[in-house]
Homo-oligomer: A and B are copies of this chain.
Amino acid sequence: MTPQITFKPYELTLEVPPGENLLKAALEAGVHINASCGGSGVCGKCRILLEEGDLDCAVETLLSPEEWRLGYRQACQCHVRGDVVVRIPPESLLDRKTITRRRPQVALRPSPLDLAALKEEGLYNPAFQKKFLQLPPPSLIDNVCDLVRLETGLARQHGLDNLTLDFFLLQNLPQVMRQDNFRVTATLDFAQRRSRKPRLVHLEAKDTTTRHFALAVDIGTTTVWVQLLDLAKGEVIGVAADYNGQLSYGDDVITRIVYSQKGDGLRTLQQAVVITINNIIRGLLKRYRLEVGEISHLIVAGNTTMTHLFYGLDPKYIRLAPYTPTACHLPPVRARDLGLELPAHVFIYSVSSVSSYVGGDIVAGVLASGLYKEPKLTLFIDIGTNGEIVIGNQEWLACAACSAGPAFEGGGIRFGMRAAKGAIEEVRINPETCEPMLMTIDLAKPKGICGSGLINLLAALMESGIILPNGKLRDDLNTPRIREGENGREFVVAWGAETQGGEDITLSEVDIDNLMRAKGAMFAGYLTLLENVGLRLQDIEQVILAGAFGSFINLENAIAIGLMPDLPRECFQFVGNGSLQGATLLAFSRDLLEEEQRIAQMMTNFELSETPGFMDQYIAALFLPHTQAEYFPNVIGRFKGQ
């Protein structure tokens, strides 16, 4: 019997000699699996998912029991004895270094996260605080229980009384109190947003007040970011990121929701993101030499679906009209109850959502950008896997989600890809010869086109007159780069001889149509929201771009294609990852943590599909840059042939 291996997602099946090493088989089949240690088992990058059959595996020290149970194996440690189906998860496909290595191309607006400013404003007051106590040891004339001794000490030495208590603290209370002769440090949670009583959550022997850390977590549909915070010093110590392990089950929130409704799907997705977060945290703790017990809490921000999946809440009705989430505001939850490898005293707070498609990531961005306290009328835009818009100022906030789709993350575009090594990012086109000048990430051979590259390519095609305002490629240019392809007419961006895959990299009219729909949905969103609050585009005094994507785009080109409004360039500000920054801010400021739910509730949500005028605006925006040229006075002149 010759064993067969099927590699997913490639649907590639091949026969191998019995006992063949799986990594070697993949290599020989041309299936790429990240593996930087040469198959010695130490880098742990060649993880695959065993979906059918059995593999003969060595002891796997780099996989947790949970990962093992889910079917993860290290390809280099597996030998094939019978037929198997294995899936290469995206994290093994992708160059995850690019996540953190890229530097934004624009200057970021200083956010309220500037801790010095926070301290000046009197807002630097972490909700979790440590208090050192020296308690009198018990005697026969003072033998109250340990808990009352501790509570009395907190009342007398720190003026804290009427506390609530986390039960798990009691489990080693006698030992902790006696370890250093009743010198202890208590961690208190002042963030109980509804009850307002401090909660006694943790107790350590000795004076540990200088060692107090928290984690801010941004759960993106694609990427998970974790920032390590020093609450004793008031500093951000470090940051780490990884692809969301749920990527193996779908690229966007809709496919994830669909997956969650199948059998054990919700549990699988919940565990996948938990594994990702556990791995990032483990790495951060190791890198900065922290004990896990020194973490007091987590603040998590994510879109509504990501938040539901992380907490194990059913997202079913997020997808079905009338689009109701289970809950927009969640009570604090014990980290351990969700599967995080953290001690019992660690609780998770999350940033509130507004609606099914305006999530805690946007609320966190509104907090981080300071929009909610801006006197100026501001347009806040976050383009990621979806696009969300907030318009308002310190007095009112309106928001909406645009079903922009993942086009700007490369989704639905034949050669679209994430911003990783080999992605075409910069494009210029010679209008005479139609020859492009390309620059890729890490200057590698071209592999595809990332989101910011797509914007630049589209603008270059417009500027050189290769595409018409209706998105069609001109048919009167004498160039081999415009041709009839499998999916209709297309422009050849790079010839196969120069690309990583050996295949021509193209942009077809179908791709252009998808990009126009995406940018059109965003622009129609701006106008519809404004119309519904009785304002016009020119009333906007400030535009804030959030999201990693926002920091990488060429603003001029984004305006040129009609994705961004044609407002004075000095109005534009960039905040970077607003979700992560907002979460960090909440860890440093109890006042803001107590206010975030109010801010979320202040944001009036518009369901665009149900909002009068949206469909007309959308149709009108399916043009480059727009059917109504007056919206883009500074752009039109750039385009040849218009």
User: Could you tell me which A residues sit within 8 Å of B by CB distance?
Assistant: 138-149, 162-167, 170-175, 192, 194-195, 197, 311-314, 316-317, 321-333, 337, 353, 355-356, 607, 610
Contacts and interface: CB of A to CB of B under 8 A. Distances in A.
Contacts of A355: 143, 145
Given A170-B330, A172-B314, A174-B314, A145 B194 contact: no
A311 B144 contact: no
A145 B337 CA distance: 23
A176 to B, nearest CB: 11
B326 A145 contact: yes
A326 B140 contact: no
Nearest to A334: B167
A328 B174 contact: no
B610 A327 contact: no
Contacts of A141: 610
A333 B167 contact: yes
Contacts of A166: 331
- Identical chains in the assembly: 2
Given A197-B194, A314-B174, A145 B328 contact: yes
A333 B169 CA distance: 12
B327 A147 contact: yes
Contact of A195 (B145, B164, B312): B164
B327 A146 contact: yes
A140 B610 CA distance: 7
A149 B144 CA distance: 46
A322 B146 contact: no
B147 A328 contact: yes
A490 to B, nearest CB: 39
Q: Which 8 A-B pairs have the closest CB atoms?
A: A147-B327, A195-B195, A143-B322, A145-B325, A140-B322, A145-B328, A167-B333, A140-B610
B333 A147 contact: no
A46 to B, nearest CB: 31
Nearest to A146: B326
B327 A170 contact: yes
B145 A327 contact: yes
B174 A326 contact: yes
B147 A329 contact: yes
A543 to B, nearest CB: 28
30 contacts: A138-B324, A139-B322, A140-B321, A140-B322, A140-B607, A143-B322, A143-B323, A145-B325, A145-B353, A146-B324, A146-B326, A146-B327, A147-B327, A147-B328, A147-B329, A162-B194, A163-B194, A164-B194, A164-B331, A166-B331, A167-B332, A167-B337, A171-B312, A172-B314, A173-B313, A173-B314, A174-B314, A174-B326, A194-B197, A195-B195
Contact of A170 (B175, B194, B326): B326
A358 to B, nearest CB: 12
A348 B473 CA distance: 71
